[in-house]
Amino acid sequence: MLKTMSQCDLAHRRVMIREDFNVPFTPLGEIRSDARLRAAIPTLQEALKKGARLLLLSHCGRPEEGKEDPRYSLEPVARRLSELLQHPVRFEKNWLEGVTLEPHEVVLCENVRFNKGETENDEALSKKIAALCDIFVMDAFACAHRAQASTEGVARFAKEAVAGPLLMGEIEALSRVLSQPVSPVVAIVGGSKVSTKLSILHALLKPVDYLIVGGGIANTFLAAQGFPVGASLCEPDLIPEAFQLLKEAKEQGTEILIPQDVMVATAFDPHAQAFLRNCDEVKEGEMILDIGPRTIQQYETIIQSAKTILWNGPVGVFEFDAFQEGTGALARAIAHSTGFSVAGGGDTLAAIELFDVEKEISYISTGGGAFLEYLEGRSLPAIEILQQRSGSR
């Protein structure tokens, strides 16, 4: 078990919390979405209630490392945090050499990526950051797969390093799906390429009962079963791999579901006309861009009976009005399900927002790359170092 912030005495101590405040900005420099800031508020409130002196760290964007770039400054984040927290948040531009902190004070440090050595996990920089606190709290699951100075490095050298509530929430939700799922378990894995999701597909064969593949991934599976895919996005060199996955799934008692009917177009265009085809009727020059009504009905029925649901990736080009019905129908089915549901991945989050089902999903992961790597069973450096520091590796 990881030692957590909730188990620590924070009173009067300098508590450094690594959050994910990598928010999107408008061209005018205004915060476009403060969802990541709102997610961190309970952690900050708990630390303040316990009497901590708070130092907050985060990256933002991808500036050239070691150089200040006003486009990626966290100063606007400090202002918005003050409003959300209803507590002053002081912005500190030059913080590496030391920061004065009064009891119950909150300081947001400038973008960690303005420091040379951040992404390379430079040891000297890590030690310098660690020296600024009594306790380091890793609360940014989205950055846990990166061994960087403000994540793994500082956790290695801080006097004490523990996991924050947000990080623990992610781990517990994903563990509930992967390690302790209640059957029937349904996983929906969409996306453009099998090659980017191979490890996930293999990893999910064991814990799930039904594995729904969508998007370009489904096209490769259709081709593996001898169906024509026309001009659809497909990876012919991975057809043997898809065939092998189908074989392994059958051996393990897992059913991989592929479409029975599809919506096609003759051009990849938001205004393209949609045509319904059975899977054995796709013509040369046609592109599969969504699942059809019979497939939607089958998937909805399976989702309705599920007790555990994992969703990663759309099943069609939902950005085009004519091809969003499949992803929309599955999003609503997951939202109406009584099962425990976890959703994650950039396109998935965009779909959740588009179809307005955020409140009905049990847990939404903002982990991005960390979410995918955790599903694949990979070790995440920032979590591994916390396990070592907790003596529970």
- Residues belonging to the active site: 36, 193, 346, 369
Q: How many CB atoms lie within 10 A of CB 272?
A: 17
Cα–Cα distance measured from residue 289 to residue 161, given in angstroms and rounded to the nearest whole number: 47
Closest among 158, 108, 153, 222 to 8, alpha carbons compared? 158
Asked if 60 and 111 count as a contact pair (C-beta separation under 8 A), the reply is: yes
| Greatest alpha-carbon span in the chain | 70
Asked if 115 and 143 count as a contact pair (C-beta separation under 8 A), the reply is: no
Asked if 357 and 330 count as a contact pair (C-beta separation under 8 A), the reply is: no
Cα–Cα distance measured from residue 264 to residue 290, given in angstroms and rounded to the nearest whole number: 7
Closest among 282, 295, 279, 191 to 238, alpha carbons compared? 191
